């Protein structure tokens, strides 16, 4: 058996065992955190059962793309507008402002770009937050609606910042490229409204509905197409994948009951998305963490200071109860996807040291391990 097949077998085994390993924790520890811990355990820095390979890297990138496409599919425009949406957008801008001020004032040292660290620490793990809200029954509560808006902005804002601020091209070229990708996505999103009453649209709908797999295949085509456009223009692929989800949502009459969306989620979360977190965990350099054990704790403190503290002040009217506001700050501060991606991109570009990446990923892992559990304890 080749090394690649051995690694794939190890990953699939971890993915299959994850639901059983999560059961004793009763939902207090997110499954993605357990998957990352499993990846750390079997990775090169620990048992060595999982070694880097081009095949696993490809599968992990597919999982990453599906994560952000599904995030785009779940984003409702109503969560971005209204009082809750405006407060969520202002909260993320406040997070970014506090982060920039701290990065400017503190002696961060070499081995990183301060703007990359700020963008990574300003994000919210929306996919994890959605699971927590559903499992806790707080989806439709006032706190849940505020969290949904804040988490949505905490995911969209950093993705846009990654595309605009962390690109390697000239800033003007980057802005034009991002604008062009956004324009193509907007044009694709307006198609249903323009031709929804035409005979051609009725024919396309009947063909797509004849087989359950056809809409799913069209979504894959849209994701790959926008990723290809993003790559060709030098725009980060996260932008293309999240826009693909936002566009496809316009083609779905009722996302809450869509069989196609349920099929996509089942396909993504059965293998590719868990595989991404296992591979991400396996890349964590335990030697760097052992040499600098305070690094992950400092990053966790930075997440709470940059993302959580401004919200505690900003939401004092929307959430007058301090206990509820503290729970809000803890849940909106958990961050996982963006720190992993930003760390990987910066290391690949030679702009961040592996030691800083290990601290960043370790701190984000602590945030999803500890903050939701603390918020659940406060609820009781």
Q: What is the dihedral of CA 26, 27, 29, 32, to 10 degrees?
A: 130
Q: What is the dihedral of CA 349, 355, 360, 362, to 10 degrees?
A: 130
Number of separate domains in the chain: 1
6 found inside a domain:
no
23 found inside a domain:
no
338 found inside a domain:
yes
SS3 state of residue 203: helix
Show the domain range for 57.
53-379
Mean pLDDT per 10-residue segment, the chain (380 residues)? 67 78 64 84 84 81 83 78 88 91 75 81 85 76 87 88 72 81 84 63 55 64 80 78 82 67 77 86 84 88 92 92 92 88 82 85 90 82
The confidence score (pLDDT) of residue 253 equals 64
266 to 140, 204, 320: CA distances (angstroms): 23, 25, 39
32 found inside a domain:
no
What CA–CA distance (Å, rounded) separates 210 from 222?
Answer: 19
Rounded to 5 degrees, what angle do the CA atoms 195, 198, 201 make?
70
The confidence score (pLDDT) of residue 1 equals 45
Residue 350: left (phi > 0), alpha (psi -120 to 50), or beta? left
Q: What is the dihedral of CA 52, 58, 61, 62, to 10 degrees?
A: -140
The confidence score (pLDDT) of residue 325 equals 92
SS3 state of residue 197: coil
The confidence score (pLDDT) of residue 102 equals 86
What residue has token string 């202002």?
90
CATH number at residue 120: 1.20.1530.20
Residue 128 and residue 71 in contact, taking contact as beta carbons nearer than 8 Å? no
361 found inside a domain:
yes
372 found inside a domain:
yes
The confidence score (pLDDT) of residue 29 equals 66
The confidence score (pLDDT) of residue 205 equals 57
From the list 282, 334, 209, 301, the residue with the least C-alpha distance to 36 is: 282
From the list 333, 296, 314, 372, the residue with the least C-alpha distance to 22 is: 372
108 found inside a domain:
yes
22 found inside a domain:
no
The confidence score (pLDDT) of residue 314 equals 92
pTM of the model: 0.82
What CA–CA distance (Å, rounded) separates 180 from 115?
Answer: 24
363 to 8, 21, 105, 299: CA distances (angstroms): 27, 22, 21, 5
The confidence score (pLDDT) of residue 198 equals 63
């Amino acid at each position: 058996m080749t090394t690649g097949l051995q690694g794939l077998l190890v990953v699939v085994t971890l993915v299959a065992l994850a639901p059983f390993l999560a059961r004793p924790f009763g939902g207090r520890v997110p499954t993605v955190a357990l998957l990352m811990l499993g990846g750390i355990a079997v990775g090169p820095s620990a048992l060595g059962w999982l070694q880097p390979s081009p095949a696993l890297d490809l599968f992990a990138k597919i999982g990453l793309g599906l994560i952000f496409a599904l995030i785009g599919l779940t984003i409702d425009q109503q969560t971005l507008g209204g009082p809750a949406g405006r407060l969520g957008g202002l909260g993320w801008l406040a997070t970014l402002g506090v982060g920039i001020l701290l990065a400017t004032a503190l002696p961060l040292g070499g081995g990183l770009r301060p703007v990359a660290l700020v963008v990574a620490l300003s994000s919210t793990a929306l996919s994890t937050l959605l699971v927590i809200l559903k499992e806790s029954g707080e989806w439709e509560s006032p706190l849940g609606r505020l969290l949904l808006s804040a988490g949505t902005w905490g995911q969209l804002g950093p993705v846009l910042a990654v595309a605009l601020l962390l690109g390697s091209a000239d800033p003007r070229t980057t802005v034009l490229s991002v604008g062009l990708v956004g324009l193509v996505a907007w044009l694709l999103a307006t198609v249903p409204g323009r031709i929804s009453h035409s005979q051609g649209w009725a024919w396309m709908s009947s063909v797509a509905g004849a087989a359950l797999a056809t809409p799913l295949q069209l979504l894959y085509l849209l994701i790959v197409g926008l990723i290809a456009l993003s790559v060709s223009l030098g725009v980060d692929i996260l932008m293309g994948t999240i826009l693909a989800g936002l566009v496809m949502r316009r083609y779905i009459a009722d996302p809450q009951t869509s069989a196609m969306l349920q099929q996509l989620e089942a396909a993504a979360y059965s293998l590719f998305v868990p595989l991404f977190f296992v591979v991400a965990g396996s890349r964590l350099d335990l030697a760097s963490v052992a040499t600098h054990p305070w690094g992950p704790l400092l990053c966790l403190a930075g997440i709470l200071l940059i993302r959580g503290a401004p919200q505690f002040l900003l939401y004092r009217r929307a959430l007058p109860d301090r206990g509820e506001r503290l729970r809000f700050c803890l849940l909106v501060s958990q961050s996982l996807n963006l720190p992993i991606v930003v760390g990987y991109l910066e290391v690949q570009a030679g702009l961040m040291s592996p030691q800083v990446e290990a601290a960043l990923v370790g701190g984000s892992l602590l945030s999803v391990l500890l903050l939701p559990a603390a918020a659940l304890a406060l609820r009781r």
